[in-house]
Structure 1
Amino acid sequence: MELAFERRGAGTPLILIHGIGHHWQAWLPVMDRLAAAHDVIAIDLPGFGVSPGLPDGVPYTAESLADAVESFCAMLGVRDPHVAGNSLGGYLALELASRGVVRTATALSPAGFWSRSELVWAQSVLRSLRATAQSMSPAQAELMAQNPVLHALSCGLLVAHPSRLSPTALLAGSQALAMSSGFDETLESFGSVMPPAPPKAPITIAWGEHDRLLLRRQAVRAAKWSGRRVKLLRGCGHVPMSDDPELVAKVLLDATVS
């Protein structure tokens, strides 16, 4: 499947997958660090960013999105890549590891390890953020991005350090959230998301210390599922690439040594 993507660097391929409502630019803070060691390919999932949606009749589910990533890699001629993802993208990375089609998988605060109440919380927050993004005029969105107080309020549930997210990045992320044609159906499908089958490739799971969307206690379930310790990303929120690019890049690079 054809997807929008950004490609940098050389070496073993590393696919980067964003979370729901986001776009490949979420990885910009770490891309050049990763590109020093890898052929880095950051994608827009189907129906997100500027990628086309899934074909008619294909539902937006974790499985169909993972299928799309797998198909994209085959189309690009990328075999057995490393893969890393955040949130929904983290779940997809683990799903691809369970299929045995990737070399390693790294998941940053992955979806799927929630209780029922935690799922309802995450869905409510995401719907609210989406509604706010869709309701703003261009002038209001610009004010939100530039005003320090509004800036912090708008992204404080997703990042631990709003000031480290530039106004340009916040504005672009808000526009991507508002325009994501696959958002509503994907979010609804979260109700049936369960942890993937046991992985057939090495995996690393890391969780933001101050994750306010997928609460940090979910890391305990992820550790139980994986049978290994989950790394704690100190000082980071749900989208840790903006909070501490150096730390996130180190986790990804350490995980992809092979």
Structure 2
Amino acid sequence: MPATVSFSVTSPHGPRTVTVSYARVGSGEPLLLLHGIGHHRQAWDPVVDILATERDVIAVDLPGFGASPALPDGLAYDLSTVVPALGSLCGALDVDRPHVAGNSLGGLLALELGREKLARSVTAFSPAGFWTPAERRYAFAVLLAMRHTAQRIPLPVVERLSRTAAGRTVLTSSIYARPGRRSPEAVVAETLALAGAEGFAATLRAGASVRFTQDLPGLPVTVAWGTKDRLLVRRQGVRAKQIIPRARLVRLPGCGHVPMNDDPALVARVILDGSR
């Protein structure tokens, strides 16, 4: 069952309380799951039960996304704020340096947690931050178009479209290579999550100048990219390998930008192999 946890973080205006919604299941070494911009923790639902057979799985809604409230006044949605906040979240949950797996924005955050020595291993699926300026502008334009559609389309239309594979393709083909596999209920829920994400605009603005440029020596790192990623093209994975030369670079055949839905067994295997 989902739960919430609150913890204090520092800000230029003094301590602020951040509240995060999460779900925790399984046993073993801790594994923190981080979703992408505009999504929510349920993006990981297709793989959670597999992972929970070997890991203490903690799937979180990032601040300002899903069921997590927006960050309080005085806190920005940038890496220098969100990464320490995730470290404080782990402390509040009594978790010491978890394995971390993330997708897109969550992949970038996972790498940053690794850079700050707050993770024992990192698995990043199509992580942000390895783009050229042109690739970033394209990705942001697609994300803004998705957000605009989610906010403008009436809920009854979303529900009607979600009932057919063709309709789910209309709503989610930007992130899934196999949108017909996503359940109607999940498509409706993630469309509403995108429309209502309070942290979306500020996170996108903060990402305009972000690039990941540092190696992570001594840390097990896996970077995985779907061959059908239409949002962050797969050549960015080659750049990630050049920047983090000891990283394991994994190809995900037939998978889109959010591969957990497209091939749950493969994604779970990549995470478990990378965190052993």
- For normalisation by structure 1, the TM-score amounts to 0.97
Q: Distance in 1 between matches of 2:59 and 2:248?
A: 27
Structure number with the bigger relative contact order (C-alpha 8 A, sep ≥ 6) is 1
Question: Who is 1:236 aligned against?
Answer: 255
Q: Is the 8 A contact 1:94 1:196 kept in 2?
A: no
Q: CA deviation at 1:196?
A: 5.1
Paired letter, 1:157 = S
Identity among equivalent positions (%) equals: 48
1:63 Cα offset (Å)? 2.9
Of the three residues 160, 163, 175, the one matched with 2:192 is 175
Q: CA deviation at 1:27?
A: 0.4
Paired residues, what number?
Answer: 257
SS of 1:101's equivalent in the other structure is: coil
| Residue type of the alignment partner of 1:235 | G
Alpha-carbon distance, 1:87 to partner: 0.3
Amino acid corresponding to residue 82 of structure 1 in structure 2: H
Give the secondary-structure state (helix, strand or coil) at the position aligned to 2:20.
coil
Deviation at 1:229, TM superposition (A): 4.6
| In structure 2, C-alpha distance between the alignment counterparts of 1:118 and 1:174, rounded to whole Å | 24
Check conservation: 2:220, 2:275, Cα contact below 8 A. Answer: no
1:114 is aligned to 2:131: yes
Match of 1:188 among 205, 211, 214: 205
Matching of residue 215 in structure 1 with residue 233 in structure 2: yes
Task: Give the AA of the match of 2:231.
Answer: L
* 1:133, distance to aligned residue in structure 2 (A): 0.5
Map of 1:86 onto structure 2: 103
Aligned equivalents of 1:35 and 1:250: distance in 2?
A: 12
The AA in structure 2 aligned to 1:174 is T
> Quick check: 2:166–2:180 contact (8 Å CA) kept in 1?
no
Aligned twin of 2:76: 59
- Return the letter of the residue paired with 2:48: M
**Does the CA-based 8 Å contact 2:224-2:251 persist in structure 1?**
yes
Q: Does 1:252 align with 2:271?
A: yes
Q: What CA distance in whole angstroms lies between the structure 2 residues aligned with 1:153 and 1:69?
A: 34
Structure 2 unaligned segments of length 5 or more: list them: 1-6, 8-18
Query: Deviation per CA, 1:1-48, whole angstroms, max 9, x where unpaired?
Result: 331001000111000000000011000000010000010000000000
Cα shift at 1:204? 0.7
How well do the aligned residues superpose, as a CA RMSD in angstroms? 1.1
Q: Secondary structure at the match of 1:8?
A: strand
In the alignment, structure 1 residue 144 sits paired with structure 2 residue 184: no
Partner of 2:53: 36
* CA distance, structure 2, for counterparts of residue 131 and residue 172 of structure 1: 16
Match of 1:49 in 2: 66
Q: 1:86-130 CA deviation, whole Å, 9 max, x = no partner?
A: 000000000000111111011000000001111011100000101
Matched, 1:203 2:229: no
Answer yes or no: is the 8 Å Cα contact 1:95–1:197 preserved in 2: no
- C-alpha distance 245-206 of structure 1, shift in aligned 2 (>3 A): same
Structure 1 residue 224: deviation in Å? 0.5
- Once residues 34 and 53 of structure 2 are traced to their aligned partners in structure 1, the CA distance between those partners, rounded to angstroms, is 19
1:102 and 2:137 matched: no
SS in 1 for 2:205: helix
- Greater shift in the superposed pair: 146-155 or 1-10: 146-155
Gaps of at least 5 residues in structure 1 are: none
Select the structure that is richer in strand.
Answer: 2
Once the two structures are superposed, what CA deviation does each residue of 1:47-100 show, in whole Å capped at 9, x if it has no partner? 000111112111111332212211100111100110000000000000000111
Pick closer, same or farther for the CA change 1:24–1:41 going to 2, 3 Å: same
